[in-house]
Structure 1
Amino acid sequence: MAKATDLTAHTHDAVLRLSPDRPEGAAARPARPPRIEDVARQAGVSPITVSRALRTPDMVSPKTRDRILQVVEATGYWSNPHASALRSGRSSIVAAFVSNLLSQQYSQAVLACARVVEQHGYQLMVGQTSYSYSRELSAIQSLRSLRPAAVFFTGVIELEENRDLLRELDIPIVESWAYPPDPLDMLVGFSNTDAGRLAASHLVARGYRRLAFMGRSGGRGALRLAGFAERAAELGAEIVETIRVEQVDSVIDGRRAYRTLLEGGRSFDAIFCANDLLGLGTLLEARQQGRRIPDDLALLTFGDNDLAGELSPRLSTISFDSNAMGTRAGEMIVDRLDPRSDGTLASSLCLDLELIPGETT
């Protein structure tokens, strides 16, 4: 694997921060749950004492802890259907929400996170948000009753209303798959902007000047397109076609996107598919239509899917270590939950991108 050599530093992603106005179809926000500060005020103690009483009860006198638990029960703070979670001060569940269960990278990251947290007595519970704000909101609202110990997202939270709801849970949150300057809590990600820039640099260096882009219309797809367009312009290359896809569920979406690209009637000599499923579908569809790759058309994807290395020709791709991402997310969660932690583990990490040469560029 070749490290990205044309990037001297990680570029922050200009992640959207959307207003509190709910997107169409989103569920209404419930009343604000009680915060740890509310419990502390009513119990006449500090928030840290409340936290210790619930997480490490031996550190608080029985009289003080009983008073705190009375307030907890009266206010509904940390209300949990599992009584053992309240008695011990925390749940043993770590929730993980993935954007797409079919993605190999998301699965690898979640499995790596699970391996870490399970070694420390936690269990990972997985849900899917499908790149949907309304599903994301429903998932976050469900956390109020589940009350997990921590949450891991394969993405970053753009909607401010959802960010506020997560803050009110007062539990460790790990975001990923992007590199915003203002993470909600903890972050282990990579720069999508740099991914797009690296793609343009690679294709132009191979002699391709008329480029096409294919990716999701929003979120990380938009960030990769921005970096791709910026670097292509710097190098004097032209992006002649851009296909934005609302939802990516399978290689069928890649096949469909490639056919849409051809309908534009423009001439291009290379495509950057900013999603591995789009890349796989594009390769299969282009071959079926008789295109010789890379003689007639070069193809570069994002995301190191095992199938990409098994196809002929092998796909060239830009990727990162999703196992390292999940492992670090798990380590951040365990470190935050451990009352003995000295806090030396960094709460933000940006992974390096790698260019994996194939035969399609």
Structure 2
Amino acid sequence: MDAQSGIVQIPTAMSSELTETDISSDEVAPTLSAVAKRAGVSSITVSRVVRLPELVAPATRARVEKAMRELGYVPNLVAGALASAKTNSVGVLVPTIANSIFADTVQGLSDKLEPLGYSVILAQSRYDAAREDRMLAALLSRRPEAIIMVGSPATEDGKRLLRHARIPIVETWELPIDPIDAVAGFDNYQAGVAVARHFIAQSRQQLAFIGGDDPRGTRRWLGFQDHALACGLQPPRRLILERNASGSVAAHANLPGVDAVFAANDAHAIGFMAGLRKAGLLRDGPAAAQPVAVVGLGDLEMGRLISPSLSTISVHGDAIGRTAATLTLERGGERRIDLGFELVLRDSG
């Protein structure tokens, strides 16, 4: 199941806080008639493409869908309600719910929004750019009063959808220089730098990075690599994992010559450590005694409980969620909030 929603009432005092007139944008939300004009068809044909696509010739349907993408048009699935009606909902897009790394963020924003009468509609992109666009369109079609997403849109189509939505948009878990509206997160590049600096201070020489090739993971890798090279080390190795590969990371633990590994998240780090243990390269003892040092990111509870305990980049997920919620409610003030991170050193490296 990709989305879930609840129905609650927004207190009257909050009803004016999330309105189109609060959004600073020179763009006007595209209309069905604008799509029809661009595609060279009637408005009725566009309506059929939206609601009864099987009744429209494939070539015509493709032309209309292309016009919709180019204009950033999203069908209104609540069009039967009054135009001024509130949906009392906030759309939230996360990469996955299979990994609990984003749970604190979702909990934090829910804790902030739900007492005020907002419900949360949750969707997953599963680290797939095309699916992310579909999920953004699905969320927007329900006319939420704001969108909060982990990361930034992966495609120009996704960015266009959000810019045309004319509602508060909050990107989280990173710090784009030019956000669509607002952002609450941390610097993934500097997180990579911090781990590389730590390994070098330990006199580790042969570094490696394991993780996916998603934008946030890639920025961690670039910071890690750039700092290592700037300090005169050999280029670190990078092992790109398949999506949702956390359960099979142990199979990649044999990296000859490597003495320090930065994993893009704690789930990958824990899986990698299981492989190290099987290979006899993990010991119960202090970091200095580890043949291969390992640092993750996310500070999951499991990482604190395993032996040796996992060193990690601690991200303030709950604070990110609460700050993102506040940014949807309050239009003034700083719109780019850096909540930082902390390198937590334990026994794994």
Secondary structure class of the residue paired with 1:238:
coil
Secondary structure class of the residue paired with 2:31:
coil
Distance 1:323 1:217 in 2: 25
Distance 1:328 1:335 in 2: 10
Q: Which residue of 1 aligns with 2:339?
A: 351
Q: Which amino acid aligns with 1:334?
A: L
Q: Which residue of 2 aligns with 1:90?
A: 86
Q: Which amino acid aligns with 2:304?
A: G
Q: Percent identity?
A: 29
Shift of 1:33: 3.5
Q: Which residue of 1 aligns with 2:54?
A: none
Question: What CA deviation, in whole Å up to 9, does each residue of 1:65-110 have, x standing for no partner?
Answer: xxxxxxxxxxx998442755x3653210111111110232311101
Shift of 1:121: 1.1
2:78–2:143 CA contact under 8 A, matched in 1:
no
Note the 1:15-54 alignment, pairs <5 A. Answer: 33-34=30-31
Distance 1:145 1:296 in 2: 53
Q: Which residue of 2 aligns with 1:60?
A: none
Residue 323 of structure 2 corresponds to residue 328 of structure 1: yes
Q: 2:131 aligns with which of 128, 135, 144?
A: 135
Shift of 1:246: 3.6
Q: Which residue of 2 aligns with 1:109?
A: 105
Question: What CA deviation, in whole Å up to 9, does each residue of 1:203-226 have, x standing for no partner?
Answer: 111111111111212311111111
How many corresponding residue pairs? 278
Gap regions ≥5 residues in structure 2: 1-28, 36-72, 284-288
Distance 2:265 2:315 in 1: 13
Note the 1:1-361 alignment, pairs <5 A. Answer: 33-34=30-31, 79-81=76-78, 83=80, 86=82, 88-247=84-243, 249=244, 251-259=246-254, 262=255, 266-293=256-283, 294-336=289-331, 343-344=332-333, 346-361=334-349
Q: Which amino acid aligns with 2:90?
A: V
Q: Which amino acid aligns with 1:94?
A: V
Aligned-pair Cα RMSD in Å: 2.3
Secondary structure class of the residue paired with 1:126:
strand
2:206–2:234 CA contact under 8 A, matched in 1:
yes
Shift of 1:240: 4.5
Distance 1:292 1:106 in 2: 28
Q: Which residue of 2 aligns with 1:26?
A: none
1:152–1:329 CA contact under 8 A, matched in 2:
yes
Distance 1:190 1:100 in 2: 19
Q: Which amino acid aligns with 2:280?
A: G
1:240–1:267 CA contact under 8 A, matched in 2:
no
Distance 2:165 2:340 in 1: 31
CA change 1:319–1:306 in 2 (3 A) is same
Q: Which amino acid aligns with 1:349?
A: I
Q: Which amino acid aligns with 1:348?
A: R
**TM-score, scaled relative to structure 1:** 0.72
Question: What CA deviation, in whole Å up to 9, does each residue of 1:217-251 have, x standing for no partner?
Answer: 2311111111111111122222442201241x253
Secondary structure class of the residue paired with 2:253:
helix
Distance 2:238 2:269 in 1: 14
2:213–2:240 CA contact under 8 A, matched in 1:
yes
**TM-score, scaled relative to structure 2:** 0.74
2:297–2:315 CA contact under 8 A, matched in 1:
no
Distance 1:77 1:128 in 2: 18
